[in-house]
Amino acid sequence: MEDEGYVINGTVLLIIIPIFILFLSTLRVLYYENKANCNSISSENVMSAVKDVERNIPVITLDVLNDSAYEVIERNATFVNSSEYLKEKVQERVNLLNYNCDLNCTIKSITPYEKDPFYIEVNATITAKKDNIKHEENSSQLVSIEGLPDPLPFTKCNPISHNLTHIQYHHALVVYLNGVENGTFYENATSPFIIKKCPYEPYESHGSTPLLLDCIQNGYYHESNDGACYLCRLEGKATCPHQGIETFIIPGILNNGSSIASIDHVIFGDLYEGSPFIINSTTLLFLDESHQRKYGIIK
């Protein structure tokens, strides 16, 4: 009987061992499958989080630019270093984004875009990690300044008002130009409130009266080597070392004398004279020779 017992135990053992091995290997396969599955979910999470932050950066930057411009406009204050201020504000907002992985986004710089003054460049480094999946990306994106308000006049003149499309200077520009020859010609002057890129190129085409009038009525801005870029406008600077933009400031009354040239960086910075160019019975500009040439008024 005892012998029989051993035989049975031996047989059971022979059956159990392969079952046990089979069980272990099934477990292992399941484990690997599960791990692979987890990894692909992690990698999807990581990639989509990085892409999402990347999509959010220009949206947040535009919003921060808009808020900052209104801060300047409403408080008649300026930023000492707009690039640094914007960088901090965008960083604060980016930090509020939530993802189901370990994500880090550092805004490295916000600068004028050298090749086109109607854009601002945002550089950031984004790293995302989940489990053993890690992804890092250096992102460089452009944000258009079209549609943003122009803060510059509000840093120079007070009180002035705007109707969402144009700025009315009332008497404030005359006060600002106090002492400048024929500064009074700028009584009730107007200029654009919203940055819009002038579609009329080359700029010499402004020599055509209907086209120039349309440009003035729409309040367009033009590329300019002398005019300030958007970030420097937030600092109250009318001229800057970057590639910038300029617009016309339209005197409120017709006059035949000469006055300061009707270009924003001239009025708020360079202060040189222009001769009258009467466009029609209600509109004139004072333009110096170089701007007359730029806009095709003289050849």
Please report, as a single letter, which amino acid is at residue 57: I
Smallest gap from Cβ 237 to Zn ion, in A, equals 7
Smallest gap from Cβ 60 to Zn ion, in A, equals 22
Query: DSSP secondary-structure letter at 266?
Result: I
Residue with smaller CB distance to Zn ion, 215 or 249: 215
Residue 179 burial by CB count (10 A; 0-12/13-18/19+): exposed, middle or buried?
exposed
| Biggest alpha carbon–alpha carbon distance for the chain | 133
Q: Looking up tokens 């200077």, which residue turns up?
A: 169
DSSP helix/strand/coil, 135? strand
Dist. CA 194–CA 107, nearest whole Å = 27
Smallest gap from Cβ 214 to Zn ion, in A, equals 8
Residue with smaller CB distance to Zn ion, 162 or 294: 294
Smallest gap from Cβ 53 to Zn ion, in A, equals 27
- As given in the structure block, the two tokens for residue 203 are 């700029």
Residue with smaller CB distance to Zn ion, 89 or 291: 291
Interface positions with Zn ion (CB under 5 A): 198, 200, 215, 220, 229, 232, 240, 242
- As given in the structure block, the two tokens for residue 233 are 């406008």
Residue with smaller CB distance to Zn ion, 48 or 218: 218
Residue with smaller CB distance to Zn ion, 43 or 83: 83
> Hey, which bits of the chain come out as E strands?
102-112, 119-130, 133-144, 161-162, 166-168, 190-192, 222-224, 244-246, 259-260, 273-278, 284-287
Enumerate residues 6+ apart whose C-beta is below 8 A from 138. 123, 124, 125
8 A C-beta contact, residue 267 and residue 177: yes
Smallest gap from Cβ 283 to Zn ion, in A, equals 14
Smallest gap from Cβ 256 to Zn ion, in A, equals 24
Residue with smaller CB distance to Zn ion, 5 or 202: 202
